Structure 1
Amino acid sequence: MIIDVHAHCIPSDFLAWLKQADPSTGIALVETDRGTAVEMAGRAVSQPLRDDLTDFDARLAAMDRQGVDVQVLAGWIDLTAYELPSDQAVAYTRVHNEGLAAEAAKAPGRFKTIGTLPLQDTDASVEALNYAMDELGMSGVELATTVDGAFIDRMDLDPLWAAAESKGAFVLLHPMAPLTGVDMSLYFMSNMVARPAESTIALAGLIFSGVFERFPGLKFCVVHGGGFTPFQIGRLDKGYEMKPGLTAKHISKPPSAYLKQLYLDTVVHDAGALRYLVELMGADHILLGTDYPFEMGDDDPVTFIKSAGLTAEQQELILSGNAARLFG
């Protein structure tokens, strides 16, 4: 059974709610020169809405074409609602996650789900995690790298990490903003460079702040092959060795030791890069991802993995074995 752990959608029930949301929700659909976008707290926060995020039949057809048996459905990272006041974000998150669960139920056996959280409120996030897993049958959550411009290692999320570890939640870390405050408008760099760079900064912060030392049992996956972190992990280890007064306040081992506790997906678009990730992490810590339905995703992931020069055992772990173990 081949499992894709990195895919996005806008649940149809949730979209219907967006279309009729009243001002008290803090949400509105607005027309821009590029199409319909979502506005939160008075500012547009999403790219234009895309039909392929809501077309359920096209999703199933794409999965069949790709050879994917099960897709782990997550929301669209643009629609996390971290900009909203806590009470509005809690209500928004409930509607979104219930819609996501309903979407998956349309095709039994083809989907797992990971919800979103009102991450600007730690206590509410713990409650939302419990509801998502206990009441909606979700497998975990997707988190963005930043909350209103601040990287998540700067937030007091230990109660959430503790709850996620205790419940065996799968946590998917995904970049959100194209490096806020940096002009990345040329050459599509906002996607090609800024998104993996944002994951790199967030992951380094989580490592050095001691999250993975305090919560070694977290089932934590970083998309896009972990950004640039795996390819510069030696530099992080060197900094840990040379500047312990700055880097070793919260950790007792080199950063590479914590990186190897985590999981990375396969959306790297280069066979040599995938082989390096397998060498660095072990095949048992690499998960198939597509980033469906986006153009920068991998539309033929099974072929990519099978043609990357990996052993049959490594392929089996990446295609299905690891995810089957994590998702049960």
Structure 2
Amino acid sequence: MSPGLIDVHAHLLPDFYVRQATAAGHAHPDGMGDWPEWSVEAHLDLMDRNGIETAMLSMSSPGVHFGDDKAARLLARRVNEYTAELPRSHPGRFGTFASLPLPDVDGALEEIGFAFDELDADGVALLTHTQGVYLGDQHLDPVFSELDRRRAVVFLHPTSPVCWERSALGRPRPMVEYIFDTARTVTDLVVAGVLTRHPNLRVIVPHCGGAVPVLADRINEFMRLFLPTQEQLTPDAVQQLQGLYYDMAGTAFPRQVPALLNLVDPDRVLFGSDYCWTPPSLADAHIASMDTAGPPVEGATWRSLTTVNARRLFPELGPAR
């Protein structure tokens, strides 16, 4: 029997969150037509029919910070407490990535402590930027220092870039803008030295790395050209990128996964469904395309490979059942 998949890119959407985000001006989040439907029961149904054993739940864009630090702290806490109840009521089926009220650093540090020490979070979810503060910003270094101290898993998720009003050309931002905002913030992490200063971070990049695999050599070359010699980073950009994890959420086949495997070894690839923001029929189709794709390595399937990789990253999930 094939091992049950570990879905590292899965989203929840409780009603109270949708109401608060809508009231804050996100009636059509990131240019999408509406909020998708989500319930625990529907999520479990999708998991069961696709052989997903455990889904690591996170909040997607637009996150929890809508402009007010105090409100963001309260919403992050409510989201995290709600999410933490799901593994308790459905043992083995769900894990959790906590939301943080960035760019409020003090609030984020408080929530990291609460999420890991009181709620047993499996990691944190960070948007590519919040209120225009991208992840390489020095302002966030205390957050990454604390996550590094805890050897935390950090799941990245894109959001609309700061320039979306002009760059998106009126189209839904997840189509193209998400892909490039992922590349933008990962490049920022590399060039700013966040990953070299905090080597214990275990970072998951979504959507096969977005545009990162095809830009890796270009990023590396520009760093060599423009960083002062005394600031040259070791390991270099390509080596840093090869040390990250990448999920297969979205249109992984037939083109994105081959590009990703030109950058990283197969042991860095994880499964992701992107449900509930990916509709159930499309999530089913994406998983079917994975099951019919050629094997990643001899003697393995995409299911077995990604599950082994995820269990190495999350040993607390225990052996496959």
- 1:322 corresponds, among 299, 309, 314, to 309
Residue 168 of structure 1: aligned partner: 151
Q: How far, CA to CA, are the matches of 2:55 and 2:230 in structure 1?
A: 38
Matched, 1:291 2:274: yes
Greater shift in the superposed pair: 164-173 or 82-91: 82-91
- State the shift of 1:117 in Å: 0.3
Q: Distance in 2 between matches of 1:248 and 1:67?
A: 50
Q: Report which stretch shifted further, 81-90 or 183-192.
A: 183-192
Q: Displacement, 1:56?
A: 1.4
In the aligned structure 2, how far is the partner of 1:215 from the partner of 1:259?
A: 14
Are residues 225 and 120 of structure 1, via their aligned partners in 2, closer, same or farther at CA, if it must alter by over 3 Å? same
CA contact (8 A) 1:74 1:142 kept: yes
The CA distance in 2 between the partners of 1:250 and 1:129, in whole Å, is 31
Residue correspondences, number: 304
Gaps of 5+ in 2: 316-321
Distance 1:86 1:110 in 2: 32
Aligned to 1:8: 11
Q: TM-score, normalised by structure 1?
A: 0.83
1:71 correspondence with 2:58: no
* TM-score, length basis structure 2: 0.85
Which runs of 5 or more residues in structure 1 are unaligned?
20-27, 29-36
1:305 equivalent in structure 2:
290
Cα distance in 1 for partners of 2:168, 2:243 equals 35
Amino acid at match of 1:257: Q
Corresponding residue for residue 62 of structure 1: 46
Whether contact under 8 Å (1:144, 1:176) holds in the other structure is: yes
Offset from partner CA, 1:69-125 (integer Å, 9 cap, x none) = 1100112322x2323332222122111100111233332110001110011221221
The 3-state SS of whatever aligns with 1:62 is helix
> Relative to 1, partners in 2 of residues 1:51 and 1:193: Cα closer, same or farther, differing over 3 Å?
closer
Aligned partner of 1:261 among 240, 243, 248: 243
Letter of the structure 1 residue corresponding to residue 51 of structure 2: G
Partner SS state of residue 273, structure 2: coil
Change (3 A) 1:44 1:260: same
SS of 1:5 mapped into structure 2: strand
Letter in 2 for 1:11: P
The runs of 4+ residues in structure 1 deviating greater than 6 Å are none
Instruction: Report deviation, 1:181.
Output: 4.4
Matched, 1:151 2:138: no
Corresponding position of 2:102? 119
CA deviation vs aligned residue, 1:247-270 (integer Å, no higher than 9, x gap): 973623321111011111112432
Q: Comparing both chains, which one has the higher relative contact order based on Cα–Cα distances under 8 Å and sequence gaps of 6 or more? A: 2
Instruction: Deviation per CA, 1:282-309: give whole Å up to 9, x if none.
Output: 1111110111122376434544334332
The answer to whether the 8 A contact 1:302-1:319 is kept is no
Percent identity over the alignment?
28
The whole-number CA distance in structure 2 between the counterparts of 1:38 and 1:220 is 30
Report the counterpart of residue 98 of structure 1 in structure 2: 81
Please say if residues 8 and 292 of structure 1, whose CA atoms lie closer than 8 Å, have aligned partners that are also in contact.
Answer: yes
State the match for 1:135 in structure 2. Answer: 118
Paired AA for residue 75 in structure 1: M
What amino acid sits opposite 1:91 in the alignment?
L
Cα distance in 1 between the residues matched to 2:224 and 2:304: 33
Letter in 1 for 2:247: D
